[in-house]
Structure formats: C-alpha cells, structure tokens
Amino acid sequence: MKNTLGKKEKIFVTLGLLAVLGIWYACKLPCLFQAIFQIPCPTCGMTRAYLALFRLDIRGAFSHHSLFWVIPILYLFFLTDGNFFKKKAQNLLFLIALLAFFLIRWFCLLISF
C-alpha cells in the first residue's frame, strides 16, 4: 500500500510552503545556512533568479542561479508522487542527477567565494 498525499494535502503543503517563503522574504530574514556556516548555501541566488524570471529576465535568472528551472520540475515530481518514469530506479536516478547538478554548482560557487 502506497503512502501518498491526497490532492487536498498537496494543496495544503504548497500553500504552507508559499506562505513561509513569502513571510521569510517579506521580513528580509537572512539565509540560515549562510548565517551559521558563513558560506553560500546550495540555493544561494535562487530568490533573485525567480524575481528576475518574474520580470521576464531569463538571462538574469540564469546568472543568479543557473538551476532555477529545477524547482518546478521537483514540484511536478512531488505532485506525481515521484513517478515521472515507470521504473522506480529511473525516478531515483533522476533525483540523484538533480542533486548532483546542485552539488556541482555549489562546489563551483564555493571555489569562487
């Protein structure tokens, strides 16, 4: 038996996450990762990337965080209960590849920091 969220629960999770992010941004709270470790976090620049994207500045979005496009894909992955592909191994490999992209980008960011 699968333990998946229903449509109402997914809407609740989405609205809750958006509310937390909106409050965090409106209050101009600092990045906790950067405050604690004194280095940029793996998603450093993501907010600026989406603000640029909302202004239809795609070049600017890519310059702030080149992997901003991954977040909508991960959201769709969440909505489909992690079933993009028929085989579970393919879904897992897909997530590992996205994580590897983030880690490689973060490593490059840390080298230039």
Per residue of the chain (113 residues), what is the pLDDT tens digit?
466 788 889 999 999 999 998 898 899 888 889 999 999 999 999 989 999 999 999 999 999 999 999 999 999 999 888 888 999 999 999 999 999 999 999 999 999 87
**Rounded distance, CA 65 to CA 25, Å?**
17
Return d(Cα 107, Cα 77) in angstroms, integer: 25
Global pTM value: 0.78
Residue type, 99: L
Separation of CA 84 from chain center: 17
**Alpha helices by DSSP H, 27-69:** 32-37, 46-54, 58-64
